[in-house]
Structure 1
Amino acid sequence: MTGTVTTGTDTRTAARVVDAVKVYGSGDTEVRALDGVSVDFTAGRFTVIMGPSGSGKSTLMHCAAGLDTLTSGSAFIGDTDLSGLDDHRLTLLRRRHLGFVFQAFNLLPTLTVAENITLPMDLAGERPDSRWLDALIDTVGLRDRLHHRPSELSGGQQQRVAVVRAFAGRPQVVFADEPTGNLDSRSGEEVLRLLAGTVRRTDRTVVMVTHDPVAAAHADEVVFLADGRLVDRMEAPTAERVLDRLKAFDGTRHKEREVSP
């Protein structure tokens, strides 16, 4: 298959990359993490990026979010071409229009839950929408934890704080990189339900990297990468269908290795 996959008729695109190439190193050490990927992420949907280890899924997310730069090609948030922004403008765009949830929570230990939630807006000099924020806090069940510090919370509670922080500024897109990787299965399930439920209740957009077919089943769509290329998309995924598709990719790669000279 080629690195470009058609994406349907919905023109509301929250983020996209076009002919994305990302190369690390040079010469004998060169690694082509992305090899001509074009993909769009539809607004108001929960999209998961999956693929075998080393397929380029985290690289794709980081480049789409402006956390890393492409070697060639373009990345857009809405209609804004990230390659045309200097560091200052890129920082402002990430702060005002994007939210992030990472595996490591990234909460400041000296701040309370409430202070961690509003930190990005405080840095941007913006006042939070109190009604929106209250609704998010109540949705994740953190009302009685607002004055606690991260060390006083469980891992699942800390990740719920990170989810609220990511959505607090009403971002165009929330990018989540293995957000359940440090959680037990029950806490992970709660966080995934929060992400999916927030997308559907508020028309926000989430793009998540995961290796877990059960996690992917919460999404509206899964895009699959292999060897730095976009190779498939799946609507309305189930854990079983995703697992079967991943096994098929692994089998194909194994056969390719066997016939290589």
Structure 2
Amino acid sequence: MTTAVTIPKSGGSGGSTAVAASGRQVTKAYGAGETRVVALDAVDVDIAGGRFTAIMGPSGSGKSTLMHCLAGLDTVTSGQIWVGGTEITKLKDKKLTQLRRDHIGFIFQAFNLLPTLNAAENITLPMDIAGRKPDREWLDKVIGTVGLADRLKHRPNQLSGGQQQRVAVARALAARPDIIFGDEPTGNLDSRAGAEVLGFLRKSVDELGQTIVMVTHDPVAASYADRVLYLADGRIVDEMTSPTADTVLERMLNLSGGTPQAPAFDARGRTS
């Protein structure tokens, strides 16, 4: 699904890598006339394959809208979006639904687990619905990566919040999608559980070659990424590679003109 194209590297030097998703002149507006609100304003973006990208910005900056449009969960007013080599902005609903099912994974702030199913059944549920048999070797690797081997028979109410989100991460990984989108995936977790889940996401990129795009407001969460994109007023206004919690916090402070809340735990999950 991914295609080899050129993405400018940090510092302006050229390089070639696989692009998992991209957008050109992506505009999303709501309303018309005097009530028209522009959520995304002619955004150009490339998401590198096999990398972890965080999207940050103040409330109302368009970060969640951008993720939803890239993932095919929302339509654009104008512009083009590709997932791998497919332009999704031209797809009919049925084809778009099929592409999301076969090539895109999702992790949300709410775990969205079915309470009557155990962890193993929740993990394979999307594939069961699609009538696809999981790749057992890959599934075992995913379960091992997120540390759930001894929790597979447990139902959600028998799991902690962090364990439930690990089930959600495994569910997103299980179908081996080209790209996974996460919308504040640690937003409902305490700092320790959040650090665990972020560590598993990082591990899935480093060891499983996964591509992850995560919307977050948390500088510590963003520090797990390879690259951070900053949005303001519907535009990408800055980016950072090799982020740390401190550098992300400083950049957010400069962009917002305010004082973001200090992180609750550092990049290794230690409370501050």
Aligned ranges 1:1-261 → 2 under 5 Å: 7-8=8-9, 9-251=15-257
Residue 264 of structure 2: aligned partner: none
SS at match of 1:175: strand
Cα root mean square deviation, aligned: 1.2
Would you say the 8 A contact 1:10–1:42 is kept in 2? no
* Alignment CA distance shift 1:136-1:11 (3 Å): closer
SS in 2 for 1:104: coil
Per-residue deviation, 1:108: 1.3
The alpha-carbon deviation at position 126 of structure 1 amounts to 1.0
Percent identity of paired positions between Structure 1 and Structure 2 = 62
Q: CA deviation at 1:103?
A: 0.1
| Matched residue SS, 1:12 | strand
Counterpart CA distance in 2 for 1:16 and 1:111 is: 36
TM-score (norm 1): 0.92
For the Cα contact (< 8 Å) 2:30–2:37, is it kept in 1? yes
Q: Displaced runs of 4+ in structure 1, greater than 3 A?
A: none
C-alpha distance in 1, partners of 2:109/2:236?
24
Q: Deviations over 1:79-130 (max 9, x none)?
A: 1000121111111111110110000011111211111100111122111011
Which fold has the larger relative contact order, with Cα–Cα distance below 8 Å and residues 6 or more apart in sequence? 1
Q: Structure 2: state its 5+ residue gaps.
A: 1-6, 10-14, 259-272
Q: CA deviation at 1:135?
A: 1.4
State the AA in 1 paired with 2:184.
E
Q: Which amino acid aligns with 1:155?
A: G
TM-score (norm 2): 0.88
